[in-house]
Amino acid sequence: MDKLVIEGGIPLEGEVTISGAKNATLPLMAAALLAAGKHTFENAPKLRDIRTMQKLLTHMGAACEHNDLLHIDTSDIHTLEAPYDLVKTMRASVLVLGPMLARYQRARVSLPGGCAIGARPIDLHLMGLERMGVEVELQHGYVLARANRLKGASISFDQVTVTGTENLMMAAALADGITTLKNAAREPEVVALAEYLRLMGARIEGDGTDVITIEGVEELSPGRIRVIPDRIEAGTYLVAAGITGGRLKLNACQPTHLEAVIRKLEAAGLSITPEQDSLLVSSNGPLQSVDVKTSPYPAFPTDMQAQFMSLMTLGNGVSVIIEQIFENRFMHVLELKRLGADIELDGRTAVVRGVKKLSGAPVMATDLRASACLVLGALAAEGITEVNRIYHLDRGYEAMEKKLAAVGARIRREKE
């Protein structure tokens, strides 16, 4: 298992190119199951989660190749199962459920795993599929689902679910009739999936709003599309500039996807200048403490909460951070305190009192965004920090230590 060794206290300066979005690539890969043939994705990141989805699709019979482009050929799908060994490490594996049912009318999918940040049940996925005529049975940790051709339905989510919206949108693309998804997720990754489905021949309207309408078609065709930039990776590097007192230019990003994050970072004292496909960010004097409450897009994203908390550990004042999405997403707090942070927890609320400095120490990463949070803290801390169990980081950040080293960070990867 690898660890990162970081000598902090160095302002970062230079340019970082943002990779394609993991959370956009995974549903696009699942959508390849909807149409036989060769699908091509530009700008797909080379990450552990992408490799896991490739293994899953290969197990099902797809041919996957990932060099400069990601090619997935679904001409010979022969296994309609997503086994536990492949699904346990990545919750997004459940995204194959909708496409399998839409195209093959049956599926056997293990209940998903992933980061231990909360329950994240798939009840809403199954509720929607049942409304579309799917018979669902839970057996020995697996979802067994079958149906004749899916039927269009009106489906209202009790709470916003990104993967639920994506799964049912894909299922509805080949259903008989019209499906309406109410209280649907509005994330850019959902819009990106809808764009690819339309390219394949689907009829979808309303993506980017909370009501999405899908009129099912008889069949879809493979296509080629470019993966959108990773807004969470971009947000993480914005914080990296601020927490180190540095100056960065982020290339190949989409500023409009980051408006809520940019507003909070500017309130904290960062200077951020959006351009067409880049962002200029620099520190602008002492960091100011700012309150944050996570909510579904377009509000402040839960996937940026941990990184923002790192920044607030050095704020001038008190920051109240409320986590409304996942009930167990404060596991990074104890590790930040090992670096000298002053944080108190009360349920889903963290009170962060800014300190003058952080100090290096060994810390343990517990999930993907907590890993990034600890790397950020280490970049600012005096002395040496070892961030252990960084396999989580490799799930969602492409070559993070190389990108940071290129802008001045003293960082290296070692075996634990």
**Phi/psi at 164 (nearest 5 deg)?**
-65, -45
Q: How many CB atoms lie within 10 A of CB 375?
A: 27
Distances (CA, A) of 120 to 15, 23, 25, 111, 144: 36, 16, 20, 11, 19
82 contacts: CB under 8 Å, gap ≥ 6: 56, 59, 60, 93, 94, 96, 97, 107, 108, 109, 110
Answer whether 269's CB lies under 8 Å from 285's CB.
Answer: yes
Residue 71, both tokens: 């090619």
Return the C-alpha torsion angle 57, 86, 111, 23, nearest 10: -60
* Residue showing tokens 């599926």: 107
Catalytic-labelled residue, pool 64, 115, 253, 373: 115
Answer whether 182's CB lies under 8 Å from 157's CB.
Answer: yes
Is residue 253 part of the annotated active site? The answer reads no
d(CA 72, CA 63): 6
DSSP state at residue 18? P
For the chain, how many helices (H) and strands (E)? 14, 24
What is the H or E stretch that residue 270 is in?
strand 270-274
Instruction: Name the residues annotated as catalytic.
Output: 115
